[in-house]
Amino acid sequence: MTAPQSAVMEFLLTRRSRPAKLLHAPVPDRAALRPILTAAARTPDHGKLVPWRFIVLEKPTLTKLAALTTDLAQARDLPEDQTAKAVSQYADADLVVAVIAAPQPSEKVPALEQTLSAGAVCLALLNAALASGWGANWLSGWTSHDPEFTARGLGLEPSEFVAGMIHIGTCTTPPPDRPRPDIDAITDWRDA
């Protein structure tokens, strides 16, 4: 057994995402973001396929994505509240890291395992940002799953998809707490 990392366990037991609408500038610059991305990239990756990548979306790009979202929502005749929520995800953000699932052909590593690895990258990125003192939140929304948005706005290939949009910034307001799962209700102990 390795030495316990009690500070890490305490962080994991008390971590809380910050609502994206409470995040604002300043945001990490490239030098501050690099170790956060590096930590996220240490996610388990069976076969060393690296079935994910990052797209760092800074304010000018986020403004363009908000406009694209408006155009696509109008073309799809989406309800105003759904449109406003999706547009604000980009218009109100100062920094978002899009985690892109990029499955690789493999006879040994099923696509599902590669997708799970991309999801693990999202959580690792979220936790690394929080551990670095930033506020962070993992979002998706309809634009993340819209083929036209992902192709035009993010330049994704048809085989790629958004695993998560990780918003990162400064949050001066304490995040609200929320109920957590009852471990006894979701755990089945089997000893025989």
**Segments in the chain below pLDDT 70:** none
Residue 34 assigned ligand-binding role: no
Please state the domain extents for the chain.
Answer: 17-173
190 marked as binding residue = no
Give every CB contact of residue 84 below 8 A, 6+ residues apart in sequence: none
Helix (H) or strand (E) holding 139: strand 135-139
Residue 106 annotated as binding site = no
Model confidence pLDDT, tens digit, residues 134-149? 999 999 999 999 999 9
Question: What is the CATH code of the structural domain delimited by 17-173?
Answer: 3.40.109.10
The annotation status of 144 as a binding-site residue, yes or no, is no
Answer yes or no: is 76 a known binding residue: no
DSSP 77-94: T--HHHHHHHHHHHHT-S
How far lies 150's CA from each of 29, 36, 55, 159, in Å? Answer: 25, 24, 12, 11
Q: Are 171 and 22 in contact (CB under 8 A)?
A: yes
pLDDT tens for each residue of 20-60: 999 999 999 999 999 999 999 999 998 999 999 999 999 99
Model pLDDT, residue 178: 86
Query: Annotated binding residue at 42?
Result: yes
